[in-house]
């Protein structure tokens, strides 16, 4: 990967809808050369995909929380993870070291809904749950790693 590939990745992370012609103008290559480079980045796995980002607040999900969960002794973590797929409010689950087994990122429309999600987590095998409401978030662009 060279500087041109990095510039393409930075541009695509910023706006994945750019055409090859627009990308080419940014990196000073032909559209065909740019398309070839983007294809190689996809084939190598560096460019993993494109996605749409939802505005969760516009959908009513205004409450964000980080919830730590410790599993009951008899619960298999793979089974727990599989069952988490059925919790629509769950954005991510990170298996961690330390006092808790997982850190879950949850969105909800109210504290009542968050409480219901907590009840669901207990039914799925969580023994202890501790939630913190997210007051604000600063997101950093992964292209900074390039």
Range(s) of the domain holding residue 127: 57-133
Asked if 61 and 34 sit in the same domain, the reply is no
Q: Are residues 65 and 126 in the same domain?
A: yes
**Does residue 76 share a domain with residue 8?**
no
- For residue 68, the cross-strand partners are 103, 130
Q: Mean pLDDT for the chain?
A: 95
Rounded to whole angstroms, how far apart are CA atoms 1 and 103?
Answer: 34
pLDDT at 109 over 90: yes
For 7-125, strand residue ranges (E) read: 63-71, 90-95, 102-108
Question: Residue 77 domain-assigned?
Answer: yes
Phi, psi of 13 (to 5 degrees): -65, -35
**Which pLDDT does position 80 carry in this prediction?**
98
With respect to residue 52, please indicate whether it lies within any of the assigned structural domains: no
For residues 70 and 125, membership in a common domain is answered with yes
Candidate from 43-47, 129-133, 139-143 with smallest mean pLDDT: 139-143
Domain count, the chain: 2
Residues 91 and 108: their CA atoms lie apart, in Å, by 10
**pTM, 2 dp:** 0.81
Average pLDDT rounded to a whole number, residues 96-106: 97
Q: Is residue 37 part of a domain?
A: yes
Residue 50 has pLDDT above 90, yes or no: no
Q: CATH code at 113?
A: 3.30.70.920
Judge if 124 and 68 occupy the same domain: yes
Q: Which of 40, 50, 31, 48 shows the shortest CA–CA distance to 2? A: 40
């Amino acid at each position: 990967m060279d500087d041109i590939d990095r510039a393409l990745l930075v541009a695509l992370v910023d706006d994945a809808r750019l055409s090859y012609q627009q990308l080419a103008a940014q990196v000073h290559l032909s559209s065909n050369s740019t398309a070839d480079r983007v294809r190689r980045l996809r084939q190598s796995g560096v460019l993993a995909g494109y996605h749409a980002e939802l505005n969760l607040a516009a959908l009513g999900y205004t409450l964000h929380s980080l919830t730590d969960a410790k599993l009951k002794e008899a619960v298999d973590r793979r089974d727990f993870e599989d069952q988490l797929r059925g919790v629509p409010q769950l954005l991510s689950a990170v298996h961690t070291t330390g006092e808790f087994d997982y850190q879950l990122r949850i969105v909800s429309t109210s504290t009542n809904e968050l409480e219901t999600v907590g009840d669901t987590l207990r039914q799925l095998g969580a023994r202890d749950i501790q939630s913190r409401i997210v007051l604000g978030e600063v997101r950093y662009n992964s292209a900074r790693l390039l």
